[in-house]
Chain A
Amino acid sequence: MSTVSVRYIVDDVDAAIAFYRDRLGFRELMHPDPAFAMLTHGGLRLVLVAPVPEGHPGGGSRPMPDGTAQRPGGWNRFMLQVEDLPAAVGELRAAGVTFRNEITGGIGARQVMIEDPSGNPVELFEPLRGSSPGAWVTCLDNR
Chain B
Amino acid sequence: MAADPLDALRLSVVPVDPRPEFTAALLRRITSAAAEAQTRMNEAVAGTSEEVGNIGLAIQRALDNAEQMQVRMQARAAAIDELIASGALERHVSSQPAPRPPQGAPIAARVRGNPTVRYFVGDLDAAIEFYCQRLGFEEELRSAPAFAMLYGGGFRLLLSVPGLPGAGRPLPDGTVPAAGGSNRITLQVTDVTAAIAELRAAGVRIRAGVSAGVAVRQALIEDPAGNLVELYEPTAGYRERPSAS
Binding site for B on A (CB under 8 A): 1-9, 22-25, 29-30, 33, 36, 38, 41-45, 47, 57-62, 64-65, 70-84, 87-88, 91-92, 100-102, 104, 106-108, 111, 120, 123-125, 129-133, 135-143
Of all chain B residues, the one with the shortest Cβ separation from A105 is B10
Which residues of the partner chain A approach B179 to less than 8 Å between Cβ atoms?
A: 75-76
The complex places the Cα of A123 from the Cα of B241 at a distance, in Å, of 26
Q: Is the CB of A139 within 8 A of B186?
A: no
* Minimum C-beta distance from B241 to chain A (A): 6
Q: Is the CB of A76 within 8 A of B118?
A: yes
Which residues of the partner chain B approach A60 to less than 8 Å between Cβ atoms?
A: 213, 218, 230
Q: Is the CB of B118 within 8 A of A143?
A: no
B212 on the A face (CB < 8 A) = yes
Q: Is the CB of A73 within 8 A of B181?
A: yes
The complex places the Cα of A31 from the Cα of B162 at a distance, in Å, of 35
Q: Is the CB of A2 within 8 A of B153?
A: yes
Partner of B227, one of A42, A65, A76: A76
B116 on the A face (CB < 8 A) = yes
Q: A6-B183, A124-B108, A141-B114 are in contact. Are A59 and B81 (CB under 8 A)?
A: no
Can you sample 23 A-B contacts with CB below 8 Å? A4-B154, A4-B185, A25-B106, A33-B214, A43-B155, A59-B212, A60-B230, A71-B182, A73-B181, A74-B181, A75-B179, A76-B180, A77-B183, A79-B117, A82-B107, A87-B107, A91-B106, A104-B169, A107-B147, A131-B12, A135-B81, A139-B89, A141-B156
Partner of A1, one of B30, B109, B189: B189
Known: A65-B208, A130-B81, A133-B14. 11 other contacts (CB 8 A): A4-B186, A45-B240, A59-B218, A80-B108, A81-B112, A82-B110, A83-B98, A91-B107, A130-B85, A140-B33, A142-B94
Which residues of the partner chain B approach A24 to less than 8 Å between Cβ atoms?
A: 106, 108-109
Of all chain B residues, the one with the shortest Cβ separation from A138 is B113
Q: Is the CB of A6 within 8 A of B213?
A: no
Partner of B77, one of A23, A41, A43, A131: A131
B129 on the A face (CB < 8 A) = no
Which residues of the partner chain A approach B123 to less than 8 Å between Cβ atoms?
A: none
Contact with A along B119-161 (1 / 0, CB 8 A): 1100000000000000110001101000101001111101000
* Minimum C-beta distance from A122 to chain B (A): 9
B199 on the A face (CB < 8 A) = no
Contact with A along B76-112 (1 / 0, CB 8 A): 1100110111000110011110100100011111111
Partner of A143, one of B95, B178, B207: B95
Residue with the highest number of chain A CB atoms closer than 10 Å, among B178, B187, B207, B213: B213
Contacting A at CB under 8 A, from B211-245, are: 211-214, 216, 218, 220, 227, 230, 239-242
Q: Is the CB of A9 within 8 A of B183?
A: yes
The complex places the Cα of A120 from the Cα of B41 at a distance, in Å, of 44
Partner of B118, one of A41, A79, A88, A142: A79
Q: Is the CB of B153 within 8 A of A30?
A: no
Residue with the highest number of chain B CB atoms closer than 10 Å, among A91, A129, A136: A136
